[in-house]
């Protein structure tokens, strides 16, 4: 009989303590409503550290509500103390709501939490924009990623916001968090978001010193997007830097077949040949480009430059010739190349009188 009596007393005492702790949470709700945030925090922290109320969903719901409500009120009243009840107060709110959801196995709190999540996402989005504007990219990334987490929450069920994913990718890129940047950029590529995405992926892979992945990103982008001109040129530049001029020409030839009216591709082919000192072949490509774009000064400049470099090369080689007849023959060839250079550079000058390269070369040619 005595054992039964003691058990009843123990249960009564335990129930009383549990009720007392839960009463603190209920009181905290009332304090939040009346704007007494410090007092509410004291009650909630006691409840959230007590084993008896640590697993009660409302404890964490109240904690999140306190953080979010005080933060909003602090902004409205320009009272930063209310925004600093906790370090990273908005993230404490998020973590608290997540705890509440995990502990609420019945799902009864979902209807209460859903609108709070939406308001929190809006606030974090503004926080991210503010941090990005002042170049605090890691903080911006953290804010944007939490907005994505909220949007992906099954009780919110928001559609994918590709603009948000793009901003998150940029924040990761600017933070030099290459792995995260790659992940978000590849996600955007899956949506066909913009031809700018392969550019960023290319730069991200290069930052990781992965030239193969950079090349693959550009090749994929060229096939994925119609406005791929810049990507083709980036790929050509990458191939040249990796001493693969033959592949660069192949890429450009393929691009020229898909866009035969675009002068950029024969122009770029000319650049590849000029870069590898194949001046005659470069000139042929530049002339093909002029047929498509007769008013582009750079084409005339580059043809003139190729003829000039050809003349210089012949002249240098002629100095090694001891046979006078052969020497005079090569000298005549160099003069013919310089004359062609003058002809094309004068045409360039007519189209672009202030071009410094043209002025310099014509001066060297004493025109």
- SS3 labels along the chain: CHHHHHHHHHHHHHHHHHHHHHHHHHHHHHHHHCCCHHHHHHHHHHHHCCCCCCCCHHHHHHHHHHHHHHHHHHHHHCCCCHHHCCCCHHHHHHHHHHHHHHHCCCCCCHHHHHHHHHHHHHHHHHHHHHHHHCCCHHHHHHHHHHHHHHHCCCCCCCCCCHHHHHHHHHHHHHCCCHHHHHHHHHHHHHCCCCCHHHHHHHHHHHHCCCHHHHHHHHHHHHHHCCCCHHHHHHHHHHHHHCCCHHHHHHHHHHHHHHCCCCCHHHHHHHHHHHHCCCHHHHHHHHHHHHHHCCCCHHHHHHHHHHHHHHHHHHHHHHCCCCCHHHHHHHHHHHHHHHHHHHHHHHHHHHHCCCCHHHHHHHHHCCC
Parts of the chain with a pLDDT under 70? 1-21, 367
pLDDT score recorded for residue 366: 82
pLDDT score recorded for residue 199: 95
pLDDT digits (tens, 9 = 90+) for 268-286: 999 999 999 999 999 999 9
pLDDT score recorded for residue 23: 85
pLDDT score recorded for residue 15: 43
pLDDT score recorded for residue 19: 59
pLDDT digits (tens, 9 = 90+) for 34-62: 999 999 999 999 998 988 888 999 999 99
pLDDT score recorded for residue 195: 93
């Amino acid at each position: 009989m005595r054992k039964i009596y003691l058990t009843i007393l123990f249960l009564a005492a335990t129930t009383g303590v549990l009720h007392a702790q839960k009463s603190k949470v209920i009181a905290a709700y009332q304090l939040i409503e009346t704007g007494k945030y410090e007092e509410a925090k004291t009650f909630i922290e006691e409840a959230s550290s007590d084993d008896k109320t640590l697993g009660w969903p409302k404890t964490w719901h109240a904690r999140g509500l306190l953080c979010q409500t005080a933060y909003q009120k602090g902004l409205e009243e320009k009272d930063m103390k209310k925004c600093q009840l906790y370090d990273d107060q908005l993230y404490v709110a998020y973590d608290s709501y997540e705890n509440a959801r995990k502990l609420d196995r019945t799902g009864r709190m979902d209807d209460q939490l859903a609108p709070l999540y939406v308001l929190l996402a809006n606030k974090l989005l503004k926080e991210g924009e503010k941090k990005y504007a002042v170049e605090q990219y890691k903080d911006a990334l953290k804010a944007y990623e939490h907005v994505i987490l909220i949007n992906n929450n099954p009780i919110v069920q928001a559609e994918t916001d590709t603009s948000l994913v793009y901003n998150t990718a940029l924040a990761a890129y600017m933070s030099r968090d290459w792995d995260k940047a790659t992940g978000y950029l590849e996600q955007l590529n899956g949506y066909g978001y913009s031809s700018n995405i392969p550019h960023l992926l290319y730069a991200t892979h290069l930052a990781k010193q992965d030239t193969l992945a950079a090349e693959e990103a550009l090749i994929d982008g060229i096939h994925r997007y119609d406005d791929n001109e810049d990507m083709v040129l980036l790929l050509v530049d990458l191939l040249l830097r990796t001493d693969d001029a033959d592949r660069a020409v192949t890429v450009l030839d393929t691009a020229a077949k898909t866009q035969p009216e675009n002068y950029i591709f024969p122009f770029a082919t000319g650049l590849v040949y000029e870069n590898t000192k194949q001046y005659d072949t470069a000139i042929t490509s530049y002339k093909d480009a002029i047929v498509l774009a007769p008013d582009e000064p750079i084409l005339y400049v580059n043809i003139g430059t190729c003829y000039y470099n050809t003349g210089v090369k012949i002249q240098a080689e002629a100095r090694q010739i001891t046979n006078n007849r052969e020497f005079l023959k090569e000298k005549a060839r160099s003069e013919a190349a310089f004359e062609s250079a003058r002809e094309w550079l004068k045409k360039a000058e007519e189209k672009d009188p202030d071009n410094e390269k043209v002025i310099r070369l014509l001066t060297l040619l004493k025109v």
